[in-house]
Amino acid sequence: MSEMINFTIDGRNVSAKRGETILKVARREGIYIPTMCYLEKTNPAASCRLCVVEAEGVDGMVLSCQTPPTEGLAVITNNNVLHEERTNIMRLYDVNHPLECGVCDKSGACDLQNKTLEFGVDRQHFTAKEQSRKIEHWGVINYDPNLCIMCEKCTHVCNEVIGDDAIELKFGGYKSTIIPKNSDHLDCTFCGECIAVCPVGALVSSDFQYKANAWELERIPSTCAHCSAGCALEYEVKTSGAAKPGEERIFRVTNNFEYATLCGAGRFGFDFDLRGEKDGKKFVAALEAIKAADAIRFSSVITNEEALILQRLKEQTGVKLYNEDARLYREFVTAFKTTADGHAELATAADLKASDAVIVIGSRIATDNPALRYAMTTAARHRGAKIVYMHPLEDALMQNTVTQFIKYEVGTEEGVMALLAHSLLEGVETTKTTAAFLEALDDGYLSAESNVGEEELARIKKQFKRTRAKTLVLGSDLFAHPRAENIAKLAGLLARYGGYRVVVAARDVNTVGVSLICDLDVDGGSNENVVGYNAAGAFVIAADDAADLTVAALNQQEGTVVNLDHRVLPLNVAVGFGGYVLNDLANALGIGKRYTVDFTPELPAEAGFKAVAFDSLENFYSPLGEDSRGYPLDKGKKPAAQQCEAVEELPEFNGTVIYYCDPVQQFNAFTARTAQLDKATELRGSEQFAVAARLKDGDLVVIGSGETARERTFVVDASLKGTIALEPTFDRGIAGRKTAYRFEKVNIMKASNDE
């Protein structure tokens, strides 16, 4: 049977893949069919009926959004009958709809406004008794039910893509409304995707409301700087009235919501731009500090071009480069490829979205990389994918998506990966060496020490038995594990022999790029003369405060980054910067260029980069949803094949254990604005942890000692279980980033007296 279905739309011969709808084919062919409730990334809501078409041999009209074609079908998308039907639908939509478009935040970008004009609805043909509808204030989101047209886009995207399941439709005819699902307040991650997909002004950002009109704002396409997903976004900036660079202001962030999705950090955490001025004395002091330095310590929140400048500086002066985040990632990926052999190409977020079965290990994925969480939610809701989540801590944000949670003991990741390889490769043909290695594993010991039972592994095998597209997601807990290299090699066996695609979830926006460009040294934390360049905090740091130099943040620069899909993505300037950039220091050292982006075509070809000028890079999604930004890296060199090592004795973590993990709301502008930032810096633990650590809710505590000691307020979190507490580190600067194993045994002392 042919996989393609041949039919006609408005007399044009077209073809559909099995499972495609008439609307999908029409969009692909550039044939316009109006919609109001349809979203490419969710199942059809079928609530607006604007997409009706006529089909030969079918009585009445059919909904093109949910109707697949049949062989030889003749479809008509527009005639007088269809136009009248759609016009009447728009007349009903406009019943009693408030007409205060001049103050509505959606005016100028409103689907209802556009369709009303398209179908020539110039007056209200019907009336209905007005209802009393209370405007809701849900933190960063305001909901006005008087403007809501019940398209259900918000509920679909929240449930099918985000996975929060936070809102639902309360049915009541003309009184229908959107309500929080589980309580009288909105309990969600505040990603704001419901705001993005809302076709009218019913759901809006409380921070943006009444601040500007859509037509006053300039849209600047760029790449999100908050994690390695590198999501596409647009900074909407108002430049009128700005006297000089740096006085512009970002009003909001938007996205191509049909295909792309943003988390709360990407949508609301846009105000990280910096104000700077050219201070000649500080510039000279910083320059001298770099000249005298033995090493430069920097984060992965920098551009590829800046990373290349640092590499050129190392080649010229011999200075060491310290970036444990990127170094550990590179070593992990290299080790993975030594056993994965011909199956070593890393998978992408799109591959994850198209998976039938997924195993996540070594990451609190919902906060480490929300885009991967959304990809798994999509796979689960649209493909029925089985999601196995393995971690020492349960995550309430994943409960709506996960089909099996396996809790393993802290530090036993090598044993867990060995158990997975042994179980999932049982009966699979491998080399004699690999078969002997797997046979020699002491399953009883590994199971007992890791707390992963044989029945749990058997359940995974049963769930995955008939699946084809299997993906293994490896998180950053694994990169800095003392046995990271062997963990990666074990994962390589699953890729090579088990058919698993592998996503290695780097954390920072340019971890991948830095790992490919810079020759990184092991940061031993010695007493060397170390300066730090960090475009996240944006400082060149020296021993003397006089040498501290503020440089541009990532929303103030042109340049590129490499995301976890190994795609080179462009950044554009949203807000001007009046100070210095790293290229200014490079010029003073004789290795710079006129502009930082002049380094873009010189990025190393041996690492997969192409000699493409920055201005030649595309920065958009195609009409069919293909990510056309930048370009994918070429395949790198294949490392020499290696064998797995014997699994070492698994460690034990007893006593008070914390896990470094940023909170969901860490970048939330509303949280900071309402003086609730302390909530993002709390040590959070379960009731069980509180008892074990002899703490009470609200206790002020000191974690650690000496230079690394920090004060936190302890909060009992009902969503947590077990004896591991969560501590954020985003406020601790470059030295406090999660470049070491993220679980740690610590001393916790009360800093406050009991009442």
Other CB atoms within a 10 A radius of the CB of residue 17 amount to 12
Query: Does the pLDDT of residue 534 top 80, yes or no?
Result: no
- Strand order in 386-390's β-sheet? 404-406, 386-390, 357-361, 470-474, 500-504
Segment 325-351 shows an average pLDDT of 92
pLDDT in the model for residue 732: 59
Domain 4-93: top CATH class: alpha beta
Q: 304-318, 381-395, 649-663: lowest mean pLDDT where?
A: 649-663
Residue 167 banded pLDDT, cuts 50, 70, 90: very high
Alpha helices in 176-269 (DSSP H): 193-197, 264-268
Helix, coil or strand: residue 218: strand
Sequence spans of domains, the chain: 4-93, 101-205, 280-326+514-632, 343-504, 657-750
554: Cα within 13 Å, side-chain hemisphere: 31
Q: Are 51 and 33 in contact (CB under 8 A)?
A: yes
pLDDT above 90: residue 238? no
pLDDT band at residue 246 using 50, 70 and 90 as cut-offs: low
**Partner residues linked to 4 by β-bridges:** 17
Q: Is 370 exposed, middle or buried (0-12, 13-18, 19+ CB in 10 A)?
A: buried
Least-confidence region, from 107-116, 172-181, 439-448: 172-181
- Range name among 37-41, 174-178, 341-345, 462-466 with the lowest pLDDT average: 341-345
Could you give the angle at the alpha carbon of 239 between the alpha carbons of 237 and 244, nearest 5°?
125
* 409, 449 Cβ separation under 8 angstroms: yes
Sign of CA dihedral 313, 316, 320, 323: positive
User: So what's the architecture of 343-504 in CATH?
Assistant: 3-Layer(aba) Sandwich (3.40)
Residue 652 Cα distances to 126, 412, 617, 745, angstroms: 71, 8, 50, 10
DSSP string, 458-517: HHHHHHHTT-SSEEEEE-TTTTTSTTHHHHHHHHHHHHHHH-EEEEE---STTHHHHHHH
Ramachandran category for residue 241: left, alpha or beta (phi over 0 → left; psi -120 to 50 → alpha): left
Residue 569 bridge partners (DSSP): 561
Distance from C-alpha of 8 to C-alpha of 26, rounded to nearest angstrom? 10
Tell me, what's the pLDDT at 670?
38
How many whole angstroms separate alpha carbon 205 and alpha carbon 189? 14
Over residues 698-720, the mean pLDDT reads 87
- pTM: predicted TM-score of the whole model, two decimal places: 0.94
Identify the architecture of domain 657-750 in CATH.
Answer: Beta Barrel (2.40)
Rg (CA), the chain: 27
What mean pLDDT value characterizes the chain?
89
Q: Which tens digits make up the pLDDT trace of 468-513?
A: 999 999 999 999 999 999 999 999 999 999 999 999 999 899 999 9
The CA distances from residue 479 to 463, 482, 515, 630, 752, in Å, are: 28, 9, 13, 27, 36
Question: CA angle, 70 as apex, 67 and 72 as ends, to 5°?
Answer: 135
Q: Using pLDDT thresholds of 50, 70 and 90, give the confidence band for residue 96.
A: confident
Average pLDDT of 73-92?
95
Chain position carrying tokens 């206790």: 699
Would you identify the CATH topology of the domain 101-205?
Alpha-Beta Plaits (3.30.70)
CA distance linking residue 579 with residue 553, whole number of Å: 11
By the 8 A CB rule, do 342 and 494 touch? no
* CA atoms of 116 and 101, how far apart (whole Å): 13
**Residue listed under structure tokens 């709808």:** 21
Give percent of the chain with pLDDT exceeding 70: 92
DSSP assigned state of 135: P
Q: Is a pLDDT exceeding 70 seen at residue 660?
A: yes
For residue 364, the model assigns a pLDDT of 94
**Local structure of 207: helix, strand or coil:** coil
Give the model's confidence band at 174: pLDDT under 50 very low, under 70 low, under 90 confident, else very high. Answer: confident
